[in-house]
């Protein structure tokens, strides 16, 4: 269930509300392209800027539209363990397949606190994907802590988004087989696969889901040349997608491609014009604009 390409869906907004129709169309487009799963209300989905009712609306829409065709992982993380448990219980009732639980942000818990946090959330009974993104949370899961997490019943995978391949490789080495470690950065997707990673939670696949799936399938088939060609072809776009805080650039790109509006919520803001023009140029070179 936790191998392959999982698209970290953006949340389309229209006039200040979740654009459910656009979100459902995105789900179908992703599934038709062959992705293995969808992540809703994660970082790319602007969950932090959404109300509880809006997150419920988005999660339910994605789960209903997917109709069991692919795995759906819902973001339920919080820096409050009780709130995280409650959000995970609610997500389970919406019919999703797993919860994406980011390390508690701002409070900077010790490693033993991380183990306690995930142990309590896992008792809900919904499979838990731990999420390590220290650039946003202020705390990083250490390799020996990842090993302890892999031993918790119900913690089934780890999204590793530190961008540090040495850390990622050491985590994969310590957790061993049977516990999925997913790259949380498109730029480290192929390197992750090369050291035993299970796949990627991808921002890039919002734009080119078919090609990201092809990269994964090429690697798994032993065609490293094709996998490298795809990796290098889209690397400039990957860099542009993180030239400003995610999901500002990917929303701008989707709007340029005519797939949705680029409405985004403060404290994020629309992409600066200079960066926007550079992104447009890359999309044109890749022949992604009509």
Q: Which residues of 158-188 are buried (b: 16+ CB within 10 A; e: fewer)?
A: bbbbbbbbebbbbbbebbeeebbbbbbbbbb
Helix-strand-coil split of the chain, %, nearest 5: 50, 15, 35
Task: Report CA Rg, the chain.
Answer: 18
| Catalytic residue (one of 56, 94, 118, 159) | 159
The tokens describing 185, both together, are 């950065």
Nearest-angstrom CA–CA distance, 104 and 229: 37
Q: Is 159 a catalytic site residue? A: yes
Q: Is 56 a catalytic site residue? A: no
CA within 13 Å, CB half, 199: 23
The tokens describing 186, both together, are 């498109």
In this structure, the number of other CB atoms found within 10 A of the CB of residue 209 comes to 21
Nearest-angstrom CA–CA distance, 112 and 115: 5
| Catalytic residue (one of 56, 94, 118, 131) | 131
Q: Which residues of 61-92 are buried (b: 16+ CB within 10 A; e: fewer)?
A: bbbebbeeebbbbbbbbbbebeebbebbebbb
In this structure, the number of other CB atoms found within 10 A of the CB of residue 118 comes to 25
Q: Which residues are catalytic?
A: 131, 159
């Amino acid at each position: 269930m936790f191998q392959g390409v999982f698209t970290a869906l953006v949340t389309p907004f229209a006039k200040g509300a979740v654009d459910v129709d656009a979100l459902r169309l995105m789900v179908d487009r992703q599934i038709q392209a062959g992705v293995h799963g969808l992540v809703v209300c994660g970082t790319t989905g602007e969950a932090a800027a959404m109300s509880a009712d809006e997150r419920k609306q988005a999660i339910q829409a994605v789960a209903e539209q997917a109709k069991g065709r692919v795995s759906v992982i819902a973001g339920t993380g919080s820096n409050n363990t009780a709130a995280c448990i409650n959000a995970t219980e609610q997500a389970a009732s919406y019919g999703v397949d797993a919860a994406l639980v980011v390390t508690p942000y701002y409070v900077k818990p010790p490693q033993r606190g991380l183990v306690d946090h995930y142990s309590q959330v896992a008792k809900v009974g919904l499979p838990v994907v731990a999420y390590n993104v220290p650039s946003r949370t202020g705390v990083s899961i250490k390799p020996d802590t990842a090993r302890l997490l892999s031993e918790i019943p119900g913690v089934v995978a780890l999204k590793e988004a530190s961008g540090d391949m040495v850390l990622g490789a050491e985590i994969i080495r310590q957790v061993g087989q049977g516990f999925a470690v997913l790259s949380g950065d498109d730029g480290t997707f192929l390197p992750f696969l090369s050291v035993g990673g299970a796949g990627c939670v991808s921002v890039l696949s919002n734009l080119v889901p078919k090609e990201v799936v092809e990269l994964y399938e090429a690697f798994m088939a032993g065609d490293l040349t094709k996998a490298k060609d795809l990796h290098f072809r889209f690397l400039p776009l990957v860099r542009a997608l993180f030239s400003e805080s995610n999901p500002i650039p990917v929303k701008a790109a989707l709007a340029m491609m005519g797939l949705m509006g680029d409405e985004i919520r403060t404290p994020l803001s629309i992409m600066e014009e200079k960066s926007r023009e550079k992104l447009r140029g890359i999309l044109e070179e890749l022949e992604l604009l009509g």
